[in-house]
Amino acid sequence: MEDDNKFGYFFLGLGLGVAAGLLFAPKSGPETREYLLTKADEGKDYIKRRGEELKSSADDLVQRGKASASDLVEKGKQSANDLIDRGRTAATQQKDQIAAAVEAGKQAYRTAIGSTPGTEGV
């Protein structure tokens, strides 16, 4: 049963009890008023206690939410750092491959120039 329904049933029962008590009251007016005040105080105490329990539950949920959010942020940071590292590694590999290709091109040019007739000493 949901908490909202419990409160509703509590107040319905309280109201019906008060009405039945007034109709069938075996006590005098002052005694009945005292009884009603006592029951009203009990109801107030119940609501106060239940409110504190709900506040405590809400605080717990907020703390768990903060912890979950913190964990997700940390995982996100770690994933971002991993992606950055992988990107740097890929860029370094590409740079090395381009440098090797340029060097191979230079060597091929030197070889081609060196084997062309009449170009010695260039």
pLDDT tens column, 44-94: 999 999 999 999 999 999 999 999 999 999 999 999 999 999 999 999 999
Q: Is the pLDDT of residue 120 over 80?
A: no
CB atoms within 10 A of CB 3: 11
Report which residue type is found at 11: F
Class of residue 67 by CB neighbours under 10 A (exposed 0-12, middle 13-18, buried 19+): exposed
Is the pLDDT assigned to residue 43 strictly greater than 50? Answer: yes
Tokens representing 18 are: 């008060």
pTM: 0.44
Please enumerate in sequence order all residues whose Cβ is within 8 A of that of 54, keeping only pairs 6 or more positions apart, or say none. 3
85-109 per-position pLDDT tens digit:
999 999 999 999 999 999 999 999 9
